[in-house]
């Protein structure tokens, strides 16, 4: 089901800071079968944790860009593309981890979103608990996959503190 990703290409890298935390935003693009361009942000945070975010380019100026559904009926190839990018990042940095917020839809509460249940199924299927610890914070629909190869002491506590600060997760 997740075996036909679109080809991604790196568009840019930006040095960023959020709530005093420095990170690098890698900006990727890919074109879907309908001729629309998607953008993926792979935000590289301390402890080699990547936050993966994606949206349709046509929504890039919207403050709700992550909430808007595309209506292009191509979710599995879009997810496959994000998953392939995660695999590419893991090849580059074998001990890297991943996180994301399963953003609520436009008229949906942030608590335990529909997207979270979909993403949870995908992550459970593709990222074995042998290699990753799965952490879910349902009140903000946040998901963290911590790579067991990362030997940072107290990684869960440090990552929780960092993301609580950045994304106002409480």
pLDDT of residue 113: 85
> Do the domain assignments include residue 2?
no
Q: Per 3-state DSSP, what percentage of the chain is helix, strand, and coil (rounded to 5)?
A: 30, 30, 35
Relative to beta strand 21-31, strand 37-45 is antiparallel
Q: Can you give the pLDDT at residue 145?
A: 96
Please give the pLDDT value at position 169: 58
Threshold 0.85, pTM exceeds: yes
Residue linked to tokens 């929504």: 59
Residue 115 has a pLDDT of 87
Q: Is there a domain that residue 135 lies in?
A: yes
The pLDDT of residue 146:
96
Terminal-residue alpha carbon distance, the chain: 35
163 falls within a domain? yes
Exposure on the CB side of residue 134, measured as CA atoms within 13 A? 14
Residues of the chain where predicted confidence (pLDDT) is lower than 50: none
Q: Rounded distance, CA 37 to CA 53, Å?
A: 14
> pLDDT tens digit string along 63-96?
989 888 888 888 889 999 999 999 999 999 999 9
Residue 103 forms part of a structural domain: yes
The domain containing residue 126 runs over which residues? 9-167
Residue at 32 is within a domain: yes
Please state, in angstroms and rounded to a whole number, the distance separating the CA atoms of residues 78 and 147: 23
In this predicted structure, what is the pLDDT of residue 134?
96
Per-residue pLDDT at 109: 81
Specify if 74 maps to a domain: yes
Kindly state whether residue 121 falls inside one of the protein's structural domains.
yes
The tally of domains found in the chain comes to: 1
- Decide if 1 is inside a domain: no
């Amino acid at each position: 089901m997740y075996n036909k990703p679109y080809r991604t290409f790196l568009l840019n890298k930006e040095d960023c800071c959020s709530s005093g935390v420095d990170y690098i935003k890698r900006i990727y693009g890919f074109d879907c079968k309908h001729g629309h361009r998607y953008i993926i942000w792979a935000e590289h945070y301390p402890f080699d944790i990547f936050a993966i975010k994606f949206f349709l380019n046509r929504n890039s100026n919207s403050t709700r860009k992550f909430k808007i559904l595309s209506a292009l009926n191509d979710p599995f190839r879009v997810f496959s593309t994000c998953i392939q990018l995660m695999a590419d990042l893991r090849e580059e940095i074998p001990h890297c981890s991943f996180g994301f917020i399963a953003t609520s839809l436009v008229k949906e509460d942030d608590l335990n979103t529909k997207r979270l249940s979909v993403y949870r199924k995908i992550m459970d299927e593709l990222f074995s608990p042998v290699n990753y610890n799965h952490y879910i914070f349902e009140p903000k629909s946040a998901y963290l996959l911590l790579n067991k190869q990362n030997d940072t002491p107290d990684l869960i506590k440090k990552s929780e503190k960092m993301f609580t600060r950045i994304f106002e997760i409480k």
